[in-house]
Amino acid sequence: MILSRYLLALVFLVFAHVASAQHFGLSRLFYPNLTLKADYTVPASLDGTRDYGVSRTGFFGIIPIQSEVQLGYSLRKKLDLRAVHTVAIAQYTQIQPTIDGKNNPENGYKTLSLGVIRMQASIKDRLWVYGGGLGMTETNETFFSPQPFFWGGAARMHILGLRTQIMYGSVIAYNQKLRFIPIFGVNKGLGRHWRASALLPFMADVNYKATKWFNVDMLAGLNGYSGGFQVQTPEEKMLRRENYRNIKIGVSANAHLFTAINVSLEAGVTTFRQLRTFNSARENLTSYTPATTPYIGASVRYITSRSRLSSKFVRKMGFGEAGINW
C-alpha cells in the first residue's frame, strides 16, 4: 500500500528526535512504551588541575493519541487519502556534573519536557512531520530559578525508492536565546542487513541487523545540557547559567527480548567538549574545553500496553504487530 510505505519512511525523522543509544523499532511509535536510560562520562582533565565528569539517568515515554486513515480534500481541492498518526512524548532526566568528584553546582540538574509529534502521509500532499514541545531545567536544590525551553518545527520528505528517502525542514528552538536551525535528513538501505540514517546537524547512525533479535549501531551525535543555578553570597543570590556540549561517537549492541523488551548497551568517546558559565546578563564568566574521554550507557525499553487504537491502525496500514524491527 502506498500510504504504508510513506508513513514507514517518516519513522526515521522521529527516530532522530528521540534517538538514544538503542536501535529504533517501528513498534515504538505505535504502542505506549517507556524507556529507562543511564549513561556515565568518565572524568577527564578540565583545566590541567581538575577533572570534569557527568552522568545522566532518566526515562523517555511515548503515548499514541491519534491513529487514523482519513478521506478528504487535498490542498488542490481533490479527493485524497491520508494516514495520520500523532504521539505525545515525555522525558525526565537527572543530570549530575562533577568537578574532582564533587557535585557541581550543588546536587545537579533535573529536566522535564513534554511534546507532540504528528506524522501525515497523503497521496496528494505527500509526506509531512510537525512537532513542538516545551520544558524546563532546574537545579535539585531549588525550584526558584527554572530555565524554560521550547522547540517547534516541520519537515518534508521525498521518497527516492523503497529503501531511500531524504528529508528537509527547519526547527525553531529557544534555550536562553532563540535559534533557527535548518535540518537535512537521509535514510538509506545498504544491502540486506545495513541501513544508514542521519538528521543533520544532530545525529548520524549506521545500523547492522545481524538477526531478527540482535543488531548493532555505529553512531555519532551532538549532545549536552543547559541549566540554571544560584550562587549565594552575603549580599545577594546571583543567577548563573551553565552550558555543556559535546559530540558522542560510539557503538551500541541491541537485543530484543520477547516482543516487548529492548535492551541496549553503548560505549564510545565524547569529544569537541565545551563547558561555559554565564551570568544573568549572558556575559561569559568561565570557559573550558574538557579533554576527550570514554563514556558508557545502557537503556531498557518496555512496551507498556497494546492500545486498541494503535493495534487497529497498525493492522490497517500493514505494519504487523509490535516487536517488528525496522
pLDDT digit string (tens) for 162-218? 678 888 899 898 887 888 989 898 888 888 889 888 888 888 999 998 988 899 999
**Higher-confidence residue: 76 or 7?**
76
pLDDT of 99 over the 80 cut: yes
pLDDT of 159 over the 80 cut: no
Q: How confident is the model at residue 144 (pLDDT cuts 50, 70, 90)?
A: low
**Higher-confidence residue: 193 or 325?**
193
Q: How far apart are CA 282 and CA 16, in angstroms?
A: 30
* Mean pLDDT, the chain, whole residue set: 79
Characterize 35-51 residue by residue with b for buried, 16 or more Cβ atoms within 10 angstroms of its Cβ, and e for exposed.
Answer: bebbbbbebeebeeeeb
Pull the grid cell for residue 131: 512537532
pLDDT of 292 over the 50 cut: yes
Q: Which of 221, 242, 222, 244 is nearest to 231 (CA)?
A: 242
pLDDT of 40 over the 90 cut: yes
Q: What percent of the chain has pLDDT over 90?
A: 30
pLDDT tens digits along 56-69: 999 988 888 877 77
